[in-house]
Amino acid sequence: MAEPIRILHVLGCIDLGGAESRIMDLYRHIDRSRVQFDFLVHTQQEGYFEKEIKELGGRIFRVPRFRLYNYFSYKKSIRDFFAEHREFRAVQGHMTSTASVYLPIAKRAGIPITIAHARSAGVDPGMKGWFTGLMRKDLSKRADYLFTCSEIAGISVFGEKAVKEGRTIFIPNAIDCQAFVYHTGKRAKMREELRLSDAYVIGHVGRFHYAKNHEYLLRVFAELCRNEKEAGRNYVLILLGEGGKMEEMKELSYQLGIGNKVYFLGNHSNVCDYYQAMDYFVYPSRFEGLPGTVVEAQVSGLKCVMSDTICNEVAVTDLVHTMSIEDNPKKWAAYIEKTADYERNDRFEEMKAAGFDVNSQAETMMNFYETGKWNGR
């Protein structure tokens, strides 16, 4: 029996982030007798998905984290790696900040296919963001294929010219839609476990990072709480995720007088169950590629309000409404209050038809990895 072809995914880490979760969804659903995934990460720490990857037959390789001062030693570590590992059919770079370094090295080492995958539509503020933009400047010319989760992500990472010329390929951030289908029994059980049976639950899923704009979310929630008696609701906010800004956001919640109504729940492998417990999904990100969380929320039938900086491609159903994060948080709170009562139903078929179900995407991606061609290209 022939060995499966091996695809190397390059990431910063393999923790419970958006890109990592989408890759793992795909990994679980491909035929691993045909295609096997390996991972090159830029950390020495064990990641959230490490054990599962090994159980699925994947390998994890490590290189030093890139810093400006270690440019030459970083390049050497990449060259050394690909000098030893030429067995990959393709290298798919999700870490686009340094993809212009490692993808050309992989190509020169004889890897047949190199892919740069744009998953974010913005950069961190300050010098770090400026340098990321500089590193991406010629990336569109340094990969065989340019994948993007949305048009704005493609423009941000590869430039407007590459997008207008049709050199980018849209790959929806597909999920296991069936896992998020709304179920009244699961909802009741989850709300009971969380002791939120009598609450109106505002939900958010995302790492505590500048891009996610948790401070704005907390201010919107504080406005909701000010009017909860008039609205006749007991508002509660549940936040899933971890990250560097978590402690800062905990402190802010108490400064705003809502600390006892905000649940910082951390990371959970059964995040799909937490959507069942929610009543409304709020997502005021400063920038995104294409947030899988908003896909997940729609499948489970949740009304969503998100910032208008997020791509249109994710707004598949009429459940999604966009607003500006330049608005006073009171405006967001007023909209949520006005639309809080609705009949909830799952939207599985709509999301599947739009290409967001990973079962359909798995076959498409396996064919691409095997042939090296995307719809004849």
**pLDDT band (50, 70, 90) for residue 121:** low
Percentage of the residues of the chain whose pLDDT score is greater than 90: 76
Summarised one tens digit per residue, pLDDT across range 208-241 is 999 999 999 999 999 999 989 888 999 999 999 9
pTM metric for this prediction: 0.79
Mean per-residue pLDDT, 295-301: 96
CA distance 192 to 174: 30
* Contact (Cβ atoms closer than 8 angstroms) between residue 103 and residue 133: no
Structure tokens at 11: 């990431």
Q: How far is CA 34 from CA 224, 278, 366, 370, in A?
A: 51, 39, 8, 8
The two three-digit tokens of residue 294, written as one number: 């908003």
Those residues with Cβ within 8 angstroms of residue 81's Cβ, 6 or more apart along the chain or in another chain = 40, 61, 63
pLDDT in the model for residue 360: 86
Q: How many CA atoms lie within 13 A of 185 on its CB side?
A: 0
Q: What is the pLDDT of residue 2?
A: 80
Q: List pLDDT tens digits, range 309-325.
A: 888 889 999 999 999 99
- pLDDT bin (cut points 50, 70, 90) of residue 26 is very high
pLDDT over 70 (residue 344)? yes
